[in-house]
Structure 1
Amino acid sequence: MCAVLLLCIQVEETSEVLADEAWWKHAVFYQIYPRSFKDSDNDGNGDLLGILDKLKHLVDAGVTGVWLSPIFKSPQKDAGYDISDYYSVDPLYGSIADLKRLIEEAHRLRLKIILDFVPNHTSNQHKWFIASENGEEYYKDFYVWVNGTSKKPPNNWISVFKDSAWKWSNKRQQWYLHQFLDVQPDLNYRNKDVRKALHQILIYYMDIGIDGFRVDAVPFFVEDKLLRNEPRTNKPNVQPNDPDYLNHIYTRDTDETFEVVYELREVVDNYTRLHGGDARILMTEAYSSLDKTQRYYGTYDGRRLGAHFSFNFYFVKINLNKTSSKEIRDYVETWINSLPKIYVSNWVIGNHDNSRAATRFGPKNVDGFNILVSLLPGIGVTYNGEEIGQEDGEVSFEESRDPSARNKSTFKQDSRDFERTPFQWDTTLNAGFNRGHRPWLPVSEKYHQTNLAAQKNSSSLTHYKIYREVLKKRQEPPAKYGDTNISAFSEDVLILKRSLGSSHIVLVFKFGGDKSPESERVYIPSIDCNIAKIALTNIDSDYSIGATLDPRTFVIKSHESLLLDITC
């Protein structure tokens, strides 16, 4: 009996490892911005049933899991990141019943569903805050309340959206902390009942089948208990009400914040141990320094685990006019070499808070960057629209919905609406987003040229076809298990080589700097053979897929990306 029991335990442990390997450690997660993806009921807002209707697209593309930006009930003062009820779906998007239908169909199609979880703050319309402001005993300390007078905030802390991070409550005669909008009060993580309440939310959604959570704004969880003023930065031309005016040493990435993330990991791991099945995962958002971003994974020795991965935002922030291939190489090597081997790397080129990849890098470079981040080791993350090379949309100040862009003079720099315009499905009215109702944000005028249907049906190579093929390529042994070598051949030519034994998958990408030559002759370092087969190119390449070239000497032009199969 003991021998049989031991065998069962070993099989269960092996199954868990295989499940991990089978999905999250080499997964591609596709971020959907629900309000802009697909509107099923023609009210101008994308919704869950619209996503359900388009799941086949994600299967065809080859993604592993779908991450949904916030769908919880919300006054929508900050696009759903101001939650008034964690246990309800906002009517904009549907209902809990719709969510369950989406999960069921996704699982039938072997897709995972990841929810956006916003635990740093709630809406001021959440029942917790209303009870806390009214002084109800249980909820009294659910938020960060500080004594003082109405004329002067407790300290100099500045919110992400500018101005003081403190708001005076006439009802309670105290200040409350809000590191985002003043209608988004910060929860008090020093209260064990707050942590317990948040853990119960995770459990509720795992009970209905959710496969994991993207955890929002993790650096802000726990602030300095002494409420010390933060020091000035040395940044020039920054106004005193701007968050960049201060060095946020007391409000971001505190030691206690990491402990909160490790505790969240215990919740999801314990759930998986208790209920079985594939691992439920955490992915964390932290625009932090490299060492702190990687610390959210867990301790260096792995004794305390945090997120399964914390987003690596390097490619989201680079400016090609100021970035060389050497800088990209150095960063990739630094990330891989500094991350403990027990953890899994991840690569992101866009999201809902930053200008789209095709706009930042240029449409001619989007194929190269999609191939690059797909073939780097570990996890890939795609923002909806990147697979078709969708660019930022056109939104006027009057049409804007983003609270971070309240100032008309800085609207174009601050607004996040441009990357949130509706997905471009086809050439029909409103790009196929809905049946004609005015969308919550305008559809880009470029949808006639850039849309999924045209790219799927074209007889030529398209952004979508390249994206789909490279996701297939990343499943091949060299890309999945091989060694990684990245080199800077010249100022703007990057070479990525994934090798397993004598098999190599090689990307040669010339992204075209301002001062670089239009074309140049290159070679693949450390390859001792004279034939390479062209597996994939960008849409405007002079080379043909299936042709061969000599990897010891060939010419590549600006914005060209060549994916080569080499066996020596």
Structure 2
Amino acid sequence: MRVAIAFCVAVLPLVIGITWNPPDNIVDFSLYQIYPRSYKDSDGNGIGDLRGIIERLDHFTESNVEAVWLSPIYRSPMVDFGYDISNYKEIDPIFGTMEDFEELLKAAHDRNLSVLMDFVPNHTSDQHEWFQKSLQGIPPYDSYYVWHAGRMENGVRVPPNNWVSQMRGSAWQWKDERQAYYLHQFSIQQPDLNYYSPDVRREMKDVLKFWLDKGVDGFRVDAMIFLYEDKRFLNEPLSGLTDDPNDYDYTVKIYTTNQQPTYDIIPTWRQVLDKYEQPKYLMLEVYSNVSDTMKYYHYGADFPFNFYTITNLTRNSNAADIQYVVESWYDNMPEGCTPNWVTGNHDQHRLISRLGEPRARAITTTVLLLPGVIVTYYGEEIGMIDEYISWEDTVDPEGCRAGKEHYLTSSRDPERTPFQWDDSVSAGFSSNPHTWLPVNEDYKTLNLAHEKKEKNSYYALYEKLSALKRSQYLKEAMLVTKVLDDYVFAVARETEDHGSVYAISNFGDTDSIVDLSVFDNIPSKLNVYYASAISDILPWESVIQIRRVTIPAGSVVILTTPNADFVTD
């Protein structure tokens, strides 16, 4: 990897940045996560569905999105809203039928949109036929899940070890029918599959093949790090972070995450995908340390998801912090691989709610101009924010489990509210005023239809940036980043023959004057392509001198060289 740390003399004593040339084989596109329950309701029952997605496919093409990823739509009891699957090869009736899915797939492909499925291999629902047969000890299903007889302690049978569930409490649940405990790293209703069983491995490859034969373009793999556990079932060491044995952070996860067989299974999935003529993508959900995360690149995945903008940035972050997030991924990623940038998902507070709008705009600007894959969580292209959800309206199992006194810090409902299309009933999401989660109260003014009319709206910024992202010339352009002062961060994509683009974000409280001559190959004059703070300082489509550029407080400014012919590509 050709990554260099550059130090240049400018307005500040020190300007820090990186330079990176995208490799020829880089995967580069905009991926949009659809949370189907909340995208569009077509039949008025208050729950989003597949036909609703079909109705609104044009939003993706208008927003320069090139691929969509569907959160689970498989048959499910919906204890964890689809992540507890009772049949991997059926569509849950809440979302529609298999015919609806096939129509969606065709309609998306007609628009040159790739469609990725959410693959959930670690666990099933306890209502899955496999688990019910395993519970009865019927071969070969008796070994489909992780069972253990436990151990005796003072004459009482107890779980085999101190492993803790992500949902709090022991990761083991006793079943009288089997006279054994089963492992569940998530909710009790989500038993973990046993990947030491060749039958399980065969079944899951068959699931991949089933959907690939339908024509899907790849998979986002859920909870990848939990796939295998150490077969010795030893106690995990204590972390020292908490004295509560029911808290997930009570132990260090050396026996329940990132086991070597977890890496080894990826090439077997890659072989399934590579049998198809068109490229099929394999993207992994991995929350882990840097070394364990980067290791997944080596085994056949297109990439493990990069959550650094979620885990490493706050409302107090400065420009150097953004630089560190960008630099850390490039510094540690294996040479020749594809970087990626995730700013939000269904498990995390929304971007603006986490960082505030000025920093959120800076992050959106940065990631849409970085090489690689950018993942947009539904609604974040219009700047949706978390909505307060009362205890009475809470449906997320994590929030419900936490109880009325603590649900506000645990529930994921606030970031899952319906998409805000316009200012009509239920924000245009549904004809029903009663939706599965309440619509955010700000929908009258924060909605897509309104933002399309406003030059300085969040969507206007997203649309301008996504158009640049889609340009083939920009996909091949050299990346240069600069920290220009405490709260001003700049991203450049430079080419020799097709011009260059420079995006400067000022998320501070005061205007900042910057000298853009710190970019080595920049011409003396630039055109204003976009300015989020419309003023006499930086009118759109004007020409500015690079030595002293005023960047208004809380704004984003995008500048192009006079010869830039890719902005309308």
TM-score if structure 1 supplies the norm length? Answer: 0.90
Partner of 1:332: 326
1:535 and 1:226 map into 2 onto residues whose CA distance is: 60
After superposition, the Cα gap between the structure-2 partners of 1:459 and 1:424, relative to the gap in structure 1 and judged at 3 Å, is closer
Other-structure match for 1:48: 50
Does 2:247 align with 1:242? yes
* Residues in 2 aligned to 1:39 and 1:32: alpha-carbon distance in whole angstroms: 13
CA distance in 1 between partners of 2:63 and 2:472 (Å): 20
State the alpha-carbon separation in 2 of the partners of residues 476 and 210 from structure 1.
24
1:193 aligns with 2:189: no
Q: Which residue of 2 aligns with 1:549?
A: 544
Q: Alpha-carbon deviations, 1:331-363, whole Å to 9, x = none?
A: 312211321232110111111110111211223
Select which of 112, 128, 147 maps to 2:130.
128
Query: Which of 514, 519, 525 is equivalent to 1:526?
Result: 519
1:310 Cα deviation from its structure 2 partner? 1.4
Matches of 2:519 and 2:45, distance apart in 1: 57
Residue 539 of structure 1 and its aligned partner are, at CA, apart by: 5.3
Is the contact between residue 344 and residue 378 of structure 1 (CA under 8 Å) also seen in structure 2? Answer: yes
Counterpart residue number, 2:18: none
Aligned residue identity for 2:345: N
Once the two structures are overlaid, the 10-residue window that deviates more, 522-531 or 50-59, is 522-531
Match of 1:158 among 164, 169, 175: 164
- Deviation at 1:21? 8.2
Q: Which of 490, 509, 517 is the matching residue for 2:505?
A: 509
Q: Secondary structure at the match of 2:459?
A: helix
Show CA shifts across 1:516-565 (max 9, x none).
x6222211213453211111222566522211222221222332111111
Distance in structure 1 (CA, Å) of the matches to 2:191 and 2:313: 34
How many angstroms apart in 2 are the aligned matches of 1:53 and 1:497? 36
**1:202 is matched with which residue?**
208
Q: Which amino acid aligns with 1:526?
A: F
Matched, 1:230 2:236: yes
Matched residue, 1:345: 339
C-alpha contact (below 8 Å) 1:73/1:83 kept by paired residues: yes
Q: How does 1:43-122 map to 2 (within 5 A)?
A: 43-122=45-124
1:485 is the counterpart of 2:491: no
Distance 1:37 1:317, change over 3 A: same
Q: Secondary structure at the match of 1:113?
A: strand
Sort the Cα spacing of 1:459 and 1:125 in 2 relative to 1 into closer, same or farther, 3 A: closer
Q: Deviations over 1:222-255 (max 9, x none)?
A: 01111111111132x5622111111111101111
Please, which moves more after superposition, 63-72 or 533-542? Answer: 533-542
Tell me the CA shift for residue 218 of structure 1.
0.1
In the alignment, which residue of structure 2 is the partner of 1:446?
442
Task: Give matches, 1:342-491, under 5 Å.
Answer: 342-405=336-399, 406-407=401-402, 408-456=404-452, 458=453, 460-476=455-471, 479-491=474-486
The separation in 1 between residues aligned to 2:243 and 2:370, in whole angstroms, is: 37
How far apart are the structure 2 equivalents of 1:551 and 1:474? 23
Mapped partners of 2:533, 2:93: distance in 1: 41
CA distance in 2, matches of 1:539, 1:223: 52
Task: For 1:264, give the aligned amino acid.
Answer: W
**Distance verdict in 2 for CA 1:50–1:476, change over 3 Å:** closer
Q: How far is the alpha carbon of 1:477 from its aligned partner? A: 5.4
Aligned to 2:567: none
Is the contact between residue 315 and residue 359 of structure 2 (CA under 8 Å) also seen in structure 1? Answer: no
Structure 2 counterpart of 1:260, one-letter code:
I
Q: Distance in 1 between matches of 2:157 and 2:80?
A: 27
Match of 1:289 in 2: 289
Secondary structure of 2:118's counterpart equals: strand
Hey, what's the Cα distance between the residues in 1 that align with 2:240 and 2:487? 31
**2:296 alignment partner AA:** Y
Aligned-residue sequence identity (percent) comes to 38
- Kindly tell me: are residues 157 and 86 of structure 1, through their superposed partners in 2, closer, same or farther at Cα, counting changes over 3 Å? same
Q: Distance in 2 between matches of 1:293 and 1:245?
A: 22
**495-504 or 189-198, which moves further after superposition?**
495-504
Moved more, 114-123 or 320-329: 320-329
How many residues in Structure 1 have an aligned counterpart in Structure 2?
A: 531
Q: TM-score, normalised by structure 2?
A: 0.90
For 1:291-306, list aligned pairs within 5 A: 291-298=291-298, 305-306=299-300
User: How many angstroms does 1:476 deviate by?
Assistant: 3.7
Match of 2:395, as an amino acid?
R
Q: CA deviation at 1:266?
A: 1.8
Question: Is the CA contact (8 Å cut-off) linking 1:367 and 1:538 kept in structure 2?
Answer: no
Cα separation, 2, equivalents of 1:331 and 1:465: 25
Q: What is the CA-CA distance between 1:214 and the residue it aligns to?
A: 0.7
Bigger mean CA offset, 406-415 vs 437-446: 406-415
| Counterpart Cα distance in 2 of 1:354 and 1:100 | 30
Question: Residue in 1 aligned with 2:311?
Answer: 317
- 2:130 is paired with a residue whose SS is helix
Amino acid across the alignment from 1:521: I
SS of the aligned residue for 2:406 comes to helix
- Distance in 1, matches of 2:345 and 2:311, equals 11
Please tell me whether residue 213 in structure 1 is matched to residue 219 in structure 2: yes
Q: Distance in 1 between matches of 2:549 and 2:534?
A: 17
User: How many Å apart are 1:496 and its aligned residue?
Assistant: 1.3
SS in 2 for 1:505: strand
Tell me, in whole angstroms, the C-alpha distance in 1 between the residues paired with 2:319 and 2:225. Answer: 30
CA RMSD of aligned residues (A): 1.9
Change (3 A) 1:483 1:234: farther
Work out the CA distance in 1 between the residues paired with 2:177 and 2:79.
Answer: 22
Where in structure 1 do 4 or more consecutive aligned residues deviate above 6 Å? none
Task: Identify if the C-alpha distance between structure 1 residues 134 and 329 changes in structure 2 by more than 3 Å, giving closer, same or farther.
Answer: same
Partners of 1:345 and 1:351 lie apart in 2 by 18
CA contact (8 A) 1:324 1:491 kept: yes
SS at match of 2:143: coil
Map 1:136-151; keep pairs closer than 5 Å. Answer: 136-148=138-150, 151=157
Read off the aligned partner of 2:545 and give its amino acid letter. D
* Segment drifting more, 68-77 vs 397-406: 397-406
The alignment partner of 2:142 has SS state of: coil
- For residues 115-147 of structure 1, what are the alpha-carbon distances to aligned partners after superposition, in whole Å with 9 as ceiling and x for unaligned? 101000000000000000100011010000011
Give the AA of the match of 2:69.
W
CA contact (8 A) 1:84 1:125 kept: yes
Deviation at 1:267, TM superposition (A): 1.5
Q: d(CA) in 2 for partners of 1:389 and 1:85? A: 35
The letter for the 1-side match of 2:286 is: A
Contact 1:478 1:498 in 2 (8 A): no
CA distance in 2, matches of 1:459, 1:519: 22
Q: CA deviation at 1:491?
A: 1.9
* In 2: Cα distance, 1:214 partner to 1:356 partner: 20
- 1:287–1:313 CA contact under 8 A, matched in 2: yes
CA–CA separation in structure 2 for the residues paired with 1:62 and 1:250: 43
SS in 2 for 1:188: coil
Q: Secondary structure at the match of 2:551?
A: strand
Moved more, 146-155 or 411-420: 146-155
For 1:388, what is the secondary structure of its paired residue? coil
In structure 1, distance between residues paired with 2:46 and 2:283: 30
| Equivalent residue number for residue 173 of structure 2 | 167
Which secondary structure does the structure 2 equivalent of 1:102 belong to?
helix
Name structure 1 gaps, 5 residues minimum.
1-19, 299-304
